[in-house]
């Protein structure tokens, strides 16, 4: 069964005759088209993408063969054109992506059809990756490996966090990265205790613990990695926390396999962190694919169970406010007998001198 057919099956189980896909990420997943101003409509026997003249050529070129691309006339809105076609076909009950439409969009739907909200429909299909998808993430992973080597050479005392961020992004794009996966985190010293710190003009100093969280997109697919660099001589406390986080991450990776409840992994990380566990307050990880943050979410409150082919991050951390932070993260594939690491970067505790 093809992707679009699996998506339509989700709608049919709810008694719907059509499924409107409006999330650009899901449109790309189903059709291959990565542009804007478009909507997909799925029915039992049709897989149709609607767009305007600005995007028509790209949509025709990028879309898979069984996706029929239609140009919407300039004198009518995209949704009005689609609703007119649905009405002409006598379609009544229509599923839509409830998390990705405006209230105005919903109100228009109600004037013509019986709309049925579906949350995380296509997203549920995206959780388990094909080998083709994994290969794209693997290639993105090779780029961040080179990014690590650049950091090991260029992350030095006397430069600002912002300088490192700008130069690292430029370097990765020259290697072939389509785009950065998210705004990079380069956080030195006390800034490392902020999990989502924004790079600042704070100058990196000898003895700093520097959290570097970065990732890239390759052919639409993302990868996410974090390494914490130790510059020069660091305190025994920093080294103790670093080694604990590193060892915890390694132990959690060993525990990953199909059928494992993600909350059990989070509980394991907290147990292994010991006294440092109270300073680990975010989720253990998340899914990665067309979006850098997608299902499943590896949190203590999640009821998700790992499946073979899922691509996830594992990123325990310890954050001591006003002092420093340590996080180590890899993107991995859940395989039958364990994990395949897609970000094969050293984590012995790099000392940049």
The whole-number pLDDT of residue 353 equals 42
The beta strands (E) that lie in 221-337 are given as 221-222, 225-231, 285-287, 294-298, 311-314, 317-320, 324-327, 330-335
CATH code of 69's domain:
3.40.350.10
C-alpha distances in Å from residue 151, one per residue of 75, 168, 256: 52, 8, 29
C-alpha distances in Å from residue 9, one per residue of 66, 90, 165, 234: 17, 19, 44, 57
- The helix/strand/coil state of 72 is coil
Read off the tokens for 294. Answer: 């997608």
272 and 141 part of one domain:
yes
Q: CA-to-CA distance for 233 and 48, rounded, in angstroms? A: 61
Is residue 211 within 8 Å of 331, Cβ to Cβ? no
Q: CA-to-CA distance for 313 and 220, rounded, in angstroms? A: 18
The whole-number pLDDT of residue 349 equals 59
CA 45 from chain center: how many Å? 32
Q: CA-to-CA distance for 339 and 331, rounded, in angstroms? A: 10
The whole-number pLDDT of residue 137 equals 98
Task: Give the bridge partners for 330, in sequence order.
Answer: 314
Q: CA-to-CA distance for 227 and 198, rounded, in angstroms? A: 16
The whole-number pLDDT of residue 36 equals 85
99 and 223 part of one domain:
no
By residue range, what is the domain housing residue 70?
A: 3-126
Which of 104, 126, 148 is a domain's end point?
Answer: 126
Which of 85, 102, 126 is a domain's end point?
Answer: 126
Read off the tokens for 54. Answer: 């600005």
Q: CA-to-CA distance for 22 and 163, rounded, in angstroms? A: 38
101 and 173 part of one domain:
no
Q: CA-to-CA distance for 195 and 216, rounded, in angstroms? A: 19
136 and 119 part of one domain:
no
């082919």: which residue's tokens? 309
- The helix/strand/coil state of 190 is helix
- How many separate domains does the chain show? 2
24 and 106 part of one domain:
yes
81 and 189 part of one domain:
no
The whole-number pLDDT of residue 35 equals 85
Provide block-wise average pLDDT over 10 residues at a time, the chain (353 residues). 96 97 97 93 96 94 96 93 94 96 93 96 97 98 98 95 98 97 98 97 96 97 97 93 97 98 97 98 97 96 97 98 98 97 86 49
The whole-number pLDDT of residue 350 equals 58
157 and 140 part of one domain:
yes
């Amino acid at each position: 069964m093809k992707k679009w057919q699996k998506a339509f099956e989700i709608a049919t189980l709810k008694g719907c005759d059509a499924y409107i896909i409006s999330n650009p990420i899901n449109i790309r997943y189903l059709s291959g088209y990565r542009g804007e101003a478009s909507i997909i409509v799925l029915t039992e026997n049709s897989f149709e993408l609607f767009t305007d003249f600005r995007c028509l050529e790209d949509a025709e070129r990028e879309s898979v063969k069984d996706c029929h691309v239609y140009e919407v006339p300039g004198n009518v809105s995209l949704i009005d054109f689609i609703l007119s076609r649905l009405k002409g076909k006598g379609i009544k009950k229509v599923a839509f992506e409830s998390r990705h439409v405006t209230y105005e969009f919903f109100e228009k739907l109600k004037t013509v059809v019986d709309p049925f909200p579906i949350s995380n429909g296509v997203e549920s299909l995206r959780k388990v990756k094909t080998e083709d998808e994994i290969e794209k993430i693997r290639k993105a992973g090779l780029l961040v490996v080179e990014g690590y080597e650049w950091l090991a050479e260029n992350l030095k005392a006397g430069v600002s966090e912002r300088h490192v961020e700008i130069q690292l992004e430029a370097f990765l794009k020259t290697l072939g990265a389509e785009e950065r996966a998210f705004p990079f985190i380069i956080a030195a010293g006390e800034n490392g205790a902020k999990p989502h710190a924004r790079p600042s003009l704070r100058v990196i100093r000898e003895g700093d613990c520097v959290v570097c969280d970065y990732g890239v997109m390759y052919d639409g697919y993302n990868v996410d990695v974090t390494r914490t660099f130790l510059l020069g001589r660091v305190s025994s406390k920093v080294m103790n926390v670093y080694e604990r986080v590193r060892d915890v991450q390694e132990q959690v990776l060993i525990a990953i396999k199909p059928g494992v409840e993600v909350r059990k992994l989070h509980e394991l990380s907290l147990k292994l962190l010991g006294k440092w566990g109270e300073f680990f307050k975010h989720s253990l990880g998340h899914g990665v694919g067309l979006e850098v943050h997608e299902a499943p979410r590896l949190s203590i409150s999640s009821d998700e169970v790992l499946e073979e082919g899922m691509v996830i991050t594992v990123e325990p951390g310890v954050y001591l406010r006003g002092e420093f932070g340590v996080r180590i993260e890899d993107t991995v594939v859940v395989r039958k007998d364990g994990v395949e690491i897609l970000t094969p970067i050293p984590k012995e505790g790099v000392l940049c001198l």
